[in-house]
Chain A
């Protein structure tokens, strides 16, 4: 029996919400509550907290959870009605500014196939039941969290006929939320699941059960763990994708639960489906799967998909089917989640207890991770010891082993242990002392200054040529990825076998960090204007190696400020970088202006910069990366910081076209709408890029309808009519993504299969079947726009999310009246960017003039030639070898030489018509180890969706591996914005528009060539040899 909360809620509200107070009046028995939040002291708080007054709180004596109210998602999804905050109960309660907990959770919402729940207005209510449980119930229609999937969902998952109800229930004494999702047919007719169209596609003989489950967004602060995959869900999934899986199964990982590891709090998710008839893994016939196992079909960005329920073959009008799952809150490790899973499933267990100490002083160690493995060597559990070095957890009876991962020590070899039913097994672990490195870097004034020291190691010759993931680090056990130089290994040449053991970022003073014992080359740096200092060090267990160096500021840039106008921190769901670490890392790279651009969250670095004592080295700028899921990412800066709302002034984007979004960004400008920069970020980065999202055609210079009817997003913000040119800047140069600069051409040596059947000759633009450029580059877009006289400013930013993508590579230099951090006028920067006075570079410093006019200015040229002057500089560790002079998008001259030859170059440019000139400068040599290669590209949404679609025979990836390769070494590269040329004396630039480029861009002499099959009678010798060779 259920009652509303009205009666008991008033009593509870008066008693406060801290865990100790959550007992019913007159009794010590704990209770659970559900209520709408009316004051900020009821919020949970924490680094990932997004809850606001008006949301719904669920709590018992163990945990607290916030379900967002109706409206747009404050997390990373689209809709409200989802769990957005969760934490254990803690002794301290919040105050008027908010909660004081440790929430690190982002969001989770139910998914029926690829459809999400969109709560209806007033569709959230609270309930209590007589057994002491309390619930928040959310009702909503079926909505799309990716609108590109609308048409697929219509065909597969019932379209608008589907509605949801999600009941979040908390019971007293339990560390989990029991969630029951109901999928309801709200139409007047029965519906088939999957739709009849799909039945036709997959055939009647395949009994495919339409899967349902949840989408979990844990956020980068949480390290996701599953049995079997351990902490390496990504590459485990990629390996599984390679194994053929046919319907009714979908590709993915079958696992009993998902858990995370985090600071103070951890999260878990487990299916509550026990009936094989409604279990997806049972219905689909996964070998050895239990009915309550989950299938993880995809992960991308912060999203982790989970399917576990199977829909019935049809739903009658008003009929519903329901399935249960558990959202678990733990104390920071996986073991605290697994214990709850065992409790829920009534698993027969024994107990493991352990203690971790150092072997010398017997000091308890808490900053270590004990990872356990089953008898087959597969990851099983993970423990984080408490401050006394103690850990415990429940285990199914059997044989196991453990390894210990920690900073400053090598991960231990496996040690066996055994668990028997109902008994306790104890283990005592002693670890060697950690090694340490202490670093200090002095600046020109002989004072400590921000810098970074990169510790470079070398791996053994025997590992040459192998994937570092196999021998250098183990992601499954929770070790970090270690960057390698990515140059081809030569077994006898140690200089080709380098990796980075650790990067120590120094703030305003020295720093000591744990480092594994070994010999390292320490390379200390401070960005691109300083020289390097190198020291050889040896780190030993229990000892501290020291680095003490001075760096020379060799390449000064008076009158210019370097800025990174795209930076993320922990306020972004996909970044785990704490704010203090973030500002130190920026200062250490010698960036003058650090513009905070967290996803849908406004951040101000200034107080952090002051706290770290870095005001002389870096200056903060408030900004935002307005992050839509399907129409692009846009930075606005400089903005106002609103201390009130939880996202500090970020705003809703779903369902709103670019025109409105640009306007809203400008309205939040710190210096007024006209003094606000709107920057289109990475315009060609998958569906995250604005130009890709609107199918902007480089040949016609127009946005177009989606060429893929199946994946055409539907909604008021989509379609070519909504493309808006009202932005100021384009982030052409994004981090290490050199593959996004130029439109993709067929490479000299083709990548490994799969490849398309028809491949044009090397060097030609790759086009799809309709003749459109398959993978357009942002720089070519920009060239087309410049041809049209559209004066967008090209920017270079790092888009750094963490240590693996260094801040300030690249960065954008702009002229300013005072270039001292702390004194730089933001309006100077705005004016320079709007006037196209900006150089985007990761190393080369470039000055360019044409007949004495600089970037963004108009040179009037008479007599058919213009005097081009290019001045190029760089610190000595940055290679300079090439200058490309680009006029109207064509490289008219490539100048090769050393840095002396390229220091000053003068040319007479033949000019026959109005033109624009930019200059590119590049170096041949890698920037290793200061800048690491792009070694592990992020997963694209197309990979995630494609893994499911491929099961239906739908190929989203027509080009296979014939596509831009994101992996690669970082070499020096920079370019200027254009100098405009008036050749006809009318006082302005009149471009040719897009049509000329359009004609040139299509090369009729390069028809697609079939891969030819030779007649049997004329088989060449090599083919015969190959045929005769037996692999077995």
Chain B
């Protein structure tokens, strides 16, 4: 069952990326998945479409104006996109008003040579969920790019959600500025 869920989730993600591939705006996706050890896996992606948007982005980090991304310039671009991936997002666990924190963040950046190809960034981290937590809530701020949220069942499937439709223990939702989604996860043993 868990294997099936993972496959479904993977498909959902791929579909999501494919859907974004035809859009001219910068798109970001946040995927969440409860895992062993009371952790919530978190994968954020940002996709900058090829063409003018990509050109402007590269021009602004290309310090020596040689048209190439040196290692330092590439790092700067990566930092910029990581910040953009998490811009304005806050994740709340349980009834606590304190937002929970992302730990151990790692990022990968893909900048294909083809100027028409998109720039993509994936950032992975974990969130230590407080014990016994069942309700999660994600909010966006006034700024930031539009967000696609994908919640995977992982070790604790989604039981209820304020947005979207639960499929194979997970759901997806689109969020705009100053938006919010709230969901309940099962208390099944890990």
In-complex Cβ contact of A750 among B10, B101, B120 (8 A): B101
B24 sits at the interface (CB 8 A): no
Q: Do A752 and B37 have beta carbons less than 8 Å apart?
A: no
Give a binary string over B122-144; 1 marks a CB under 8 Å from any A CB, 0 the rest. 10111010100000000001111
Q: Do B60 and A463 have beta carbons less than 8 Å apart?
A: yes
A701 sits at the interface (CB 8 A): no
Q: Evaluate whether A1021 and B152 lie within 8 angstroms (CB atoms) in the complex, with A488-B87, A1029-B110 already known.
A: yes
B149 sits at the interface (CB 8 A): no
In-complex Cβ contact of B79 among A377, A749, A752, A761 (8 A): A752
**Complex: how many Å from CA A865 to CA B99?**
34
Q: Do A1011 and B109 have beta carbons less than 8 Å apart?
A: no
Q: Which residues of B contact A487 (CB under 8 A)?
A: 142-143
Q: Do B42 and A1022 have beta carbons less than 8 Å apart?
A: yes
The interface on chain B, measured as residues whose beta carbon lies within 8 A of the other chain's beta carbons, has a size of 58
Q: Which residues of A contact B157 (CB under 8 A)?
A: none
Which partner residue on chain A sits nearest B153 by CB separation? A1021
Q: Which residues of A contact B142 (CB under 8 A)?
A: 487-488
Q: Could you say which interface size class chain A belongs to?
A: 35 or more
For B41, B80, B96, B103, the residue with the greatest tally of chain A CB atoms inside 10 Å of its CB is B103
Q: Which residues of A contact B102 (CB under 8 A)?
A: 749-750
Give a binary string over A748-776; 1 marks a CB under 8 Å from any B CB, 0 the rest. 11101101000101110000000000000
A847 sits at the interface (CB 8 A): no
Q: Which residues of A contact B72 (CB under 8 A)?
A: 239, 242-243
B100 sits at the interface (CB 8 A): yes
Q: From residue 980 to 1032 of chain A, which have CB atoms closer than 8 A to chain B? A: 1009, 1011-1012, 1014-1015, 1018, 1020-1023, 1025-1026, 1029-1032
Q: Do B36 and A1015 have beta carbons less than 8 Å apart?
A: yes
In-complex Cβ contact of A748 among B31, B99, B152 (8 A): B99
Q: Which residues of A contact B87 (CB under 8 A)?
A: 488
Of A76-84, A465-473, A498-506, the one contacting chain B is A465-473
A788 sits at the interface (CB 8 A): no
Q: Do B35 and A1026 have beta carbons less than 8 Å apart?
A: no
In-complex Cβ contact of A488 among B13, B36, B88 (8 A): B88
Q: Do A1025 and B10 have beta carbons less than 8 Å apart?
A: yes
Q: Do B10 and A1021 have beta carbons less than 8 Å apart?
A: yes
**Complex: how many Å from CA A1029 to CA B13?**
13
Q: From residue 325 to 354 of chain A, which have CB atoms closer than 8 A to chain B? A: none
B86 sits at the interface (CB 8 A): yes
A747 sits at the interface (CB 8 A): yes
Q: Do B101 and A748 have beta carbons less than 8 Å apart?
A: yes
In-complex Cβ contact of B56 among A462, A1011, A1023 (8 A): A462
A13 sits at the interface (CB 8 A): no
Q: Evaluate whether A759 and B103 lie within 8 angstroms (CB atoms) in the complex, with A1018-B35, A1022-B42 already known.
A: yes
Q: Which residues of A contact B125 (CB under 8 A)?
A: 750
Q: Do B99 and A753 have beta carbons less than 8 Å apart?
A: no
Q: Which residues of A contact B130 (CB under 8 A)?
A: 761
Give a binary string over B78-116; 1 marks a CB under 8 Å from any A CB, 0 the rest. 011011101111111000101111111110111000000
A746 sits at the interface (CB 8 A): yes
Q: Which residues of A contact B80 (CB under 8 A)?
A: 465-466
Q: Do A1022 and B41 have beta carbons less than 8 Å apart?
A: yes
B6 sits at the interface (CB 8 A): yes
Q: State how many angstroms separate the Cβ of A175 from the closest Cβ of chain B.
A: 36
Q: Which residues of B contact A753 (CB under 8 A)?
A: 105
Q: Do B60 and A471 have beta carbons less than 8 Å apart?
A: yes
Q: Do A1011 and B126 have beta carbons less than 8 Å apart?
A: yes
Q: State how many angstroms separate the Cβ of B144 from the closest Cβ of chain A.
A: 6
**Complex: how many Å from CA A305 to CA B160?**
60
**Complex: how many Å from CA A243 to CA B76?**
13
Q: From residue 842 to 867 of chain A, which have CB atoms closer than 8 A to chain B? A: none
Which partner residue on chain A sits nearest B45 by CB separation? A1029
A490 sits at the interface (CB 8 A): yes
Q: Which residues of B contact A377 (CB under 8 A)?
A: 64
A552 sits at the interface (CB 8 A): no
Which partner residue on chain B sits nearest A1032 by CB separation? B110
**Complex: how many Å from CA A462 to CA B60?**
9
Q: From residue 354 to 399 of chain A, which have CB atoms closer than 8 A to chain B? A: 377
**Complex: how many Å from CA A1029 to CA B110?**
9
B50 sits at the interface (CB 8 A): no
Q: Which residues of B contact A490 (CB under 8 A)?
A: 143-144
B185 sits at the interface (CB 8 A): no
B49 sits at the interface (CB 8 A): no
Q: State how many angstroms separate the Cβ of A1032 from the closest Cβ of chain B.
A: 7
Q: State how many angstroms separate the Cβ of A960 from the closest Cβ of chain B.
A: 12
Q: Do A1021 and B33 have beta carbons less than 8 Å apart?
A: yes
In-complex Cβ contact of A761 among B6, B32, B86, B101 (8 A): B101
**Complex: how many Å from CA A763 to CA B93?**
12
Q: Do A748 and B91 have beta carbons less than 8 Å apart?
A: yes
Which partner residue on chain A sits nearest B25 by CB separation? A491
A826 sits at the interface (CB 8 A): no
A418 sits at the interface (CB 8 A): no
A496 sits at the interface (CB 8 A): yes
Q: Which residues of B contact A580 (CB under 8 A)?
A: none
Q: Which residues of B contact A1025 (CB under 8 A)?
A: 10, 13, 31, 43, 122
B154 sits at the interface (CB 8 A): yes
**Complex: how many Å from CA A748 to CA B10?**
28
Q: Do B100 and A762 have beta carbons less than 8 Å apart?
A: yes
Q: State how many angstroms separate the Cβ of B85 from the closest Cβ of chain A.
A: 11
Q: Evaluate whether A1011 and B103 lie within 8 angstroms (CB atoms) in the complex, with A466-B60, A1021-B6, A1026-B108 already known.
A: yes
B39 sits at the interface (CB 8 A): yes
Which partner residue on chain B sits nearest A1027 by CB separation? B124
Q: Which residues of A contact B147 (CB under 8 A)?
A: none
**Complex: how many Å from CA A1018 to CA B34?**
12
Q: Which residues of A contact B10 (CB under 8 A)?
A: 1021, 1025
B158 sits at the interface (CB 8 A): no
A407 sits at the interface (CB 8 A): no
Q: Evaluate whether A1029 and B154 lie within 8 angstroms (CB atoms) in the complex, with A1011-B126, A1022-B42 already known.
A: no
Q: Do B104 and A1014 have beta carbons less than 8 Å apart?
A: no
For A748, A761, A1018, A1022, the residue with the greatest tally of chain B CB atoms inside 10 Å of its CB is A1022
Q: Do A749 and B90 have beta carbons less than 8 Å apart?
A: yes
Q: State how many angstroms separate the Cβ of B28 from the closest Cβ of chain A.
A: 12
**Complex: how many Å from CA A668 to CA B166?**
74
Q: Which residues of A contact B103 (CB under 8 A)?
A: 750, 755, 759, 1011
For B31, B87, B122, the residue with the greatest tally of chain A CB atoms inside 10 Å of its CB is B122
**Complex: how many Å from CA A1032 to CA B130?**
36
**Complex: how many Å from CA A820 to CA B168?**
73
Give a binary string over B56-82; 1 marks a CB under 8 Å from any A CB, 0 the rest. 100011001000000010010001101
In-complex Cβ contact of A759 among B35, B101, B120, B154 (8 A): B101
Q: Do A748 and B35 have beta carbons less than 8 Å apart?
A: no
Nearest first, the 9 closest Cβ-Cβ pairs linking A and B are A748-B99, A488-B143, A763-B98, A1031-B108, A1026-B124, A1020-B35, A762-B101, A1022-B43, A1022-B41
* 11 A-B pairs in the complex with CB atoms less than 8 angstroms apart: A463-B60, A465-B84, A487-B142, A488-B142, A748-B101, A749-B90, A750-B102, A762-B101, A763-B96, A1021-B41, A1032-B110
Given contacts A487-B143, A496-B143, A749-B102, 16 further A-B contacts (CB under 8 A): A466-B80, A470-B60, A470-B61, A488-B141, A490-B143, A747-B99, A747-B101, A761-B98, A762-B98, A1014-B35, A1015-B36, A1018-B36, A1020-B6, A1026-B122, A1030-B108, A1030-B110
Binding site for A on B (CB under 8 A): 6, 9-10, 13, 31-33, 35-37, 39, 41-43, 56, 60-61, 64, 72, 75, 79-80, 82-84, 86-92, 96, 98-106, 108-110, 120, 122, 124-126, 128, 130, 141-144, 152, 154
